[in-house]
Every structure is written in structure tokens, then in C-alpha cells.
Amino acid sequence: MNKGLFITFEGADGCGKTTQLEMLAEYLQSKGYDIVITREPGAKGLGEKIREILLNYDGEVSDRCESFLFLADRAQHIDMIVNPAVEAGKIVLCDRHTDSSVAYQGYGRQLPVERIKMLNAIAVNGRNPDLTIVFDIDVETSMSRVGKERDRMESAGQDFFNRVRQGYLEIAKQEPQRVKVLDASKSINEVHKDVIKLVKSLF
Ligand code: TYD
């Protein structure tokens, strides 16, 4: 393979996507592929500082400011980490990306979805995922997995997370080619098999 791939993992907090990303990375590495694991917000360097503000700042943060911080992190991440890796022929597995802004800031915080999409387009500057996997699960289950220790975003409440979930399903409906929804209430191994099936369709 001479062109890299960019695969993003999406879903509400507690959906199990990070575990699935790690399992896929191990699987692909065992087949000899060169894998880069990364995340938003805060892959490394400046991004980690932005992440710290987004998740732990305990003063008031306006919804618009929150959106721009995620977008600033995204622009840095695309330029410094994602593009160089994809251009070098690697497979980049990214824990959250543009659809998190649409689902959380658009549907969750109820900012205008079309504007978030437009700002996303500016932040990614033409780099779009080859595949996005949404791990869908009901809100009660995902929140019970998150537990009682919650960061600033995880403390947003049940209604917020219901909107986030609906947001992801809406995104998948609008972009069925790129965005695939998996039932994340299945066992870890069953979900892993579903992930592999989707990724194999890219080769
Ligand atoms: P993180 O600890 O990485 O959560 P998770 O393990 O569930 O991915 O925290 C990231 C939080 O930021 C998560 O609650 C989702 C939120 N988020 C947004 O609201 N907008 C965004 O654009 C991104 C990338 C994340």
C-alpha cells in the first residue's frame, strides 16, 4: 500500500471506542502495517495544553470558546501529526475528530450544526477520514461505564448525551459512505470482529 489511511473512532463517552482502537491497532500491526495511534483533543505538545483546559478548567467556558479550542487543537493535530503520517503511507487511527465537534458542540451544546461543519472544514484543510466508525450505545450504559469521576465534558448530563447520540446517528445518515455505525452494546470481541470487517473493506 503506497497511500496511508486515516480512520477515526467516534461515539459518546464510555462507548468503548478507545479499547476497540487499541485492539485494531494490535491486529493491523500483527499483519505488518505501520500504525499511528492518536487522539483529539490533545495528541501531544501544544494539544496537551489545550486538552487540559478543555477537560479540567473549572471556571466558566462559553460554548463558542469551547468549540474554537477543539478546532484549534484539530488544526494543530492535522498539520503536525495526521498529514505527515498519512503522507508517509501509515495507517492513522484517531480517537475522536470532526464528528465529535458536530455531535458535542453542534447537537449537544446546540450550536448551529452547519457552522460547526464549516469551521471543521477550515480546521482540517482538506484532510478527511477514509472511514469513521461510530460506536453506538444507549446513554444509561455509557454513563455507567464512565462512573462517578467525571471531567468537565462528561458532567454535561443525560439530555446532553441523548442529543450527542442522536447527532452521531444523524451524521451517519447524511454521510453513509464514510460513516459506519456499530452496535457497541455487543461483547468486546464481537465489536472487534465488526471493526475488522469495516476496515478490510478499505483495502
Ligand atoms: P476524552 O477523555 O478523550 O474522552 P473519550 O475517552 O470519551 O474520548 O475527552 C474528550 C472529551 O471531549 C469528550 O467528552 C468528548 C469531547 N469532545 C468534544 O466535545 N468536541 C470535540 O471536538 C472533541 C474532539 C471532543
For the domain that residue 54 is a member of, what is the CATH number? 3.40.50.300
Look at residues 155, 178, 193, 120 and name the one whose alpha carbon lies nearest to residue 13.
155
User: For the chain, what is the domain count?
Assistant: 1
Determine which of 2-11, 28-37, 63-72, 94-103 has the lowest per-residue pLDDT on average: 2-11
Report the atom number in ligand 1 closest to the C-alpha of 96. 24
Atom 23 of ligand 1: nearest residue by CA position: 100
**Residues 15-41: what's their mean pLDDT?**
98
The whole model's pTM is what? 0.96
Report the atom number in ligand 1 closest to the C-alpha of 101. 22
| Pocket (CB within 6 angstroms of ligand 1) | 13, 18, 40-41, 55, 70, 95-96, 100-101, 104-105, 153-154
Asked if pLDDT for residue 180 goes beyond 70, the answer is yes
Q: What is the distance in A from the centroid of ligand 1 to the CA of 1?
A: 31
- In tens, the pLDDT along 96-125 reads 999 999 999 999 999 999 999 999 999 999
Asked if pLDDT for residue 1 goes beyond 70, the answer is no
Buried/exposed 25-43: b ≥16 CB within 10 Å, e otherwise: beebeeeebebbebbbbbb
Residue range of the domain that includes 123: 5-200
